[in-house]
Structure 1
């Protein structure tokens, strides 16, 4: 995806890399035979490519995607809450659990871990998960690093920065563009999520699913499957995805 901090990765992929590959190697140079898939962050970016470049790809198979609705950024509503580390009940906010629901790691502990790896003494350039999110979603700060959506040490959320993340909030993006976007996505969206995802990513997918079920003109035909008691990426399968791609292509063959 294109980013203020990392540069025009999305544009370069669509307009430079894909044409170069299809020009050099045997291929169809047709959107009909282009698909995207992935799991976890790969599930997020594959879904993002299908949403933001709907004419370029013929389907997405997204498994356990990172948060696709920032009202449910794991367990945080970034637009309304003031704290990333502590929940409204005053407890440390968990970021990881097992499939029985037992918390394994807190957000505060995870960010402390990333802070150690950043040369800035913060997660902003740690190379970890929240460093990656911040590099993509945030505007560039005065020090050349991305602006933090939440303070690395206190967890206090900067609501102005949170507002700037909206353009990468898939639910908000789809809501704002549905009249044009909806028809281009028919038959193209498949998402799988374990309802006991280890990183609470099912919350954002539930929010996105709720929106898609409310759509009209057109009514979305997206398939979003939630499997009870399954964890992060547990049903990701290249074989299954390839068979789904085949099924999609065969459905379009006269």
Structure 2
């Protein structure tokens, strides 16, 4: 008997589905009749992953791009799926967790668009004996709605009436294509190495990479060795802030809602071109600049430290990747000659590697760092507070804020942000901010996934996990605890910058860290802590420019700061002249 084609099989399945009944609501229980399938032309094998259902009011952009933390978000529901075979229908779970509305029966009446996306997982057999299923980064920066290989459906218009959805069949027949590898240019090179340390931990080949920006004159000065400027942060693309041609005159002007600036895309291109002119000009320091590529199955970068759930990324970067780059591109290759900088995640990483590897790095410049003191884990004190979502009193509970603008207007609570991540992934697999902090800082649970710092539904804080975080990743506490041991290696190296209206309240932790640093003796830390008046997230210490400009000038700011202070960390006899041609 001739085997029917995959397309014919799907049509047969969908015809049967159209004959089934609509959603049935009985008292408080909703039975959602949403059936999904994907064709074998995309995958012949069974898949594991997260199935995400999205409901939006409009389709100016697809629903998969509208799930946000703030009030402008669309609706999402998420469920785990194991061993889903091609052409096999999958019933969407009516009890799936939703955000911002947590169940189907409370959805408001009206006309909407519905879309489904499947975020594909892979199986890892780790060296610690745990077998875990996780979404590996595929070059997109751990973005579930853009990850190559993920499947999604075409948006479909529906009407919801009194909490009832129509009978739905969604065909996930669209597949996100691969991302092209960047090409080398005169100034920008791309490095990728197989990490022995990470491959052993994850039980498969794992890679580290970097975008390398060569100094002007690198080819014509073959005997010169250079300091290494290491920028940490989220960089799925290469040095996009480096443009060798003027801005495109035909570029359509775009308005930035965040900065309330028209033509911000033009400003970005102009800044990129200006950086090229500065970098190649006669007065800019000659150094090697790199952006490290270290995506993990949890996030688009590892936070550059060793951790129980993610493995020895700190050691792999410090002892495998960086020496490889220095050997290939003539780096000086000594601790004093490596300096680190970055903002947000990159700010935390810059301080973290300086703290964790005191002699391997010569200076750090940490801008708007993720919480560096867990007494101010944004607006939560994980040691003293009992609940992350609420400030609790005898007669009322107040929701804890999660995000604000530069005037203090709150547009998302901490609970909102965590609930959104619950839709995108269970067991810390959302690929988003709060989950990567747990993947970095937490011990693993019995299944091998990161232990929760708090219950994601209730906000109740786990004090044992908090104690583990304190001893291993609370950077301000570690500085205080270990100053007598490493103070001589940390002096002259620590520099912190943050806007006093940081959107995520990250300035609160910097205040606490500054207090600790200001009290250091024998030796005094002799660094810098600075704040930007009404400056938002990503302000980097530039008092001459507003936030939307300063955030584009990290290289210009921090490379010069290092060169101006390098004599404070370099040993006697170090070469401080040959690379200043």
* Fold match (TM-score > 0.5): yes
- The aligned counterpart of 1:225 is 530
Superposition deviation, residue 117 in structure 1: 0.7
Gaps of 5+ in 2: 1-304, 540-549, 571-575
Q: Which is greater in Rg?
A: 2
What does residue range 37-56 of structure 1 map to in structure 2 within 5 Å? 37-56=341-360
CA distance in 1, matches of 2:308, 2:323: 24
- The aligned counterpart of 2:322 is 18
- The aligned counterpart of 1:215 is 520
CA distance in 2, matches of 1:201, 1:27: 34
CA distance in 2, matches of 1:81, 1:203: 16
CA distance in 2, matches of 1:8, 1:92: 37
Say which of 296, 306, 312 aligns to 1:2.
Answer: 306
More deviation in 158-167 or 83-92?
83-92
- The aligned counterpart of 1:33 is 337
CA distance in 1, matches of 2:332, 2:526: 27
Superposition deviation, residue 182 in structure 1: 1.3
TM-score (norm 2): 0.42
- The aligned counterpart of 1:188 is 493
Superposition deviation, residue 250 in structure 1: 5.6
CA distance in 1, matches of 2:400, 2:484: 37
- The aligned counterpart of 2:562 is 245
> SS of 1:20's equivalent?
helix
Residue 412 (structure 2) pairs with residue 105 (structure 1): yes
Say which of 371, 388, 391 aligns to 1:84.
Answer: 388
How many residue pairs were aligned?
Answer: 251
CA distance in 1, matches of 2:417, 2:344: 17
CA distance in 2, matches of 1:149, 1:72: 14
Superposition deviation, residue 178 in structure 1: 0.2
- The aligned counterpart of 2:403 is 96
Per-residue CA deviations over 1:117-143 (Å, capped at 9, x if unaligned) read: 10x2x5x11100011100010000012
Superposition deviation, residue 17 in structure 1: 1.4
- The aligned counterpart of 1:63 is 367
Per-residue CA deviations over 1:226-245 (Å, capped at 9, x if unaligned) read: 12211101333221112112
CA distance in 1, matches of 2:410, 2:380: 16
Per-residue CA deviations over 1:161-189 (Å, capped at 9, x if unaligned) read: 11111110011111110012211112111
Name the one with the larger strand percent: 2
Give the structure, 1 or 2, with the largest relative contact order (CA under 8 Å, sep 6 or more). Answer: 1
- The aligned counterpart of 1:141 is 445
CA distance in 2, matches of 1:203, 1:101: 14
CA distance in 2, matches of 1:149, 1:45: 20
- The aligned counterpart of 2:460 is 156
Structure 1 runs (4+) deviating above 6 angstroms are none
- The aligned counterpart of 2:91 is none
Residue 497 (structure 2) pairs with residue 199 (structure 1): no
Superposition deviation, residue 37 in structure 1: 0.6
CA distance in 2, matches of 1:192, 1:132: 23
Residue 475 (structure 2) pairs with residue 170 (structure 1): yes
> SS of 2:411's equivalent?
strand
CA distance in 2, matches of 1:110, 1:5: 22
CA distance in 2, matches of 1:144, 1:30: 37
Per-residue CA deviations over 1:29-72 (Å, capped at 9, x if unaligned) read: 12222110100011001110011111111111110000000011
More deviation in 235-244 or 56-65?
235-244
> SS of 1:35's equivalent?
strand
Name the one with the larger helix percent: 1
Per-residue CA deviations over 1:17-38 (Å, capped at 9, x if unaligned) read: 1122222222111222211010
TM-score (norm 1): 0.95
More deviation in 42-51 or 16-25?
16-25
- The aligned counterpart of 2:249 is none
